[in-house]
Amino acid sequence: MQNGTKASILLVDDDPAILDGVADLLRLKGYHVVTAPNGKQALDRMEESVPDIIVSDIMMPDMDGYAFFNAVRTRSDWTTIPFIFLTARGQKKDVRRGNEVGVDAYLTKPFEPEDLIVLINSRLKRIGAIQEAAKADIDKVKNQLITIFSHELRTPLTYIYGYVNLLHDQHTDMQPDEVNNMIDGMQRGAERLVHLVEDLMMMVRLDSGIIEMEVKLRQEPIDLTAVIQSALYPVQSLAAAHEVTLNTHIKPGIHINCVPAYLSEALTRLVDNAVKFCNPMNGIVDLRADVEDDQVRISVTDNGSGLTEEQLKLAFEPLMQINRQSLEQQGLGLGLSITRSIVEVHGGHVEAESEPGRGSTFTVVLPTAIKPEERSERFG
């Protein structure tokens, strides 16, 4: 539907009198109307031109309304088209069945013309609001990408490019330690770019459902202690550099259904985030793992400056960074978003608590798994 024009409506009914009469009414109201006598022909019409809304009878030859609706919803590019069913008076079974499959609205025959107009307008207004909100979200992400990428890509590339030029022009006059320092700088810039690409690839794999499918196929009961040890290893050097103390309190014998590499990645990002936000004078990060009500709770607590309620709401948003000016080294704001997505594909969720001046706690909550020895006892 273009701005300033009326919507296009696909009207489907096997009764010629109703089809022509309703079509004339809608055209008088300024709508563009395409008609079809059954679902099969309606699908052919949609291949030629996609409508803004569909109004369809249920009982029709060749392909009834339910089959037509199901066919429409199997197409990813048609799933958001509002769908209104016309049903005979008193056919509660039609309403019940339609609700089960997700039809947007019903109108009982015979109906007042104005009722149909109101229903069409309300559904078009609703889908318009949804589309505007989606567009705003897309624009927001695009702007964030432009802003952050201009920094994230430019900064390491500037370092690398600058060092390369210096080495090219002055390497014969440099001392070995000067050359080594420049090589170290180029390496740091390259590593930052690698981390950027890895984060983006992980987000793409999560958004596309690839990792969710891998988890379903490959997850198995794993000792949580081993997963946590694997998660802590990559951040130990960072913690040492920041003079942050890492404390762990893990209840022994906890098992979780997971793909260890992915869950470890999620926990690494939580701990990495906690280290960066710790008190710079006496940083402490506590990691605790316990079982409550058949749920595993893995909490990561820092003693940093904490977050406001508004910052906490934004913490899991992709590309969102908190206190960016004071934490330039943290890169793209994807860490917590990736953590949450990985935990969710494992059937869990992430809780967050924080208060300015009192630090933050992020807790991963996951279902427990049956231990291997318990499985053999239960199932032989």
Of 182-191, 203-212, 310-319, 320-329, which range is least confident? 320-329
Span 208-267, pLDDT tens digits: 888 999 999 899 999 999 999 999 999 999 999 989 999 999 999 999 999 999 999 999
Contact 199, 334 (CB under 8 A): yes
Residue 90 confidence class, pLDDT cut points 50, 70, 90:
low
Q: How far apart are CA 258 and CA 343, in angstroms?
A: 9
The enclosing H or E element of 352 equals strand 349-354
- How much is the average pLDDT of 14-22? 92
Residue 97's pLDDT band, with cuts at 50, 70 and 90, is: low
Tell me, what's the pLDDT at 174?
Answer: 84
Least confident window among 99-108, 118-127, 360-369: 99-108
**pTM score, whole prediction:** 0.59
Which pLDDT value is given to residue 321?
53
More confident residue, 360 or 323: 360
What topology is assigned to 219-377 in CATH?
Heat Shock Protein 90 (3.30.565)
Domain boundaries, the chain: 8-134, 153-207, 219-377
Mean pLDDT of 83-108: 70
Q: Is 372 a residue whose pLDDT tops 80?
A: no
Pairing of strands 220-223, 255-258: antiparallel
Fold of 8-134: Rossmann fold (3.40.50)
Q: Is the dihedral of CA 332, 336, 338, 339 positive or negative?
A: positive
User: How confident is the model at residue 357, as a pLDDT?
Assistant: 86
Higher-pLDDT residue of 107, 287: 287
Pairing of strands 284-292, 295-302: antiparallel
Distance CA 351, CA 115 (A): 46
Residue 171 has a pLDDT of 80
pLDDT of residue 375 exceeding 80, the answer is: no
* Paired tokens of 184: 């170290």
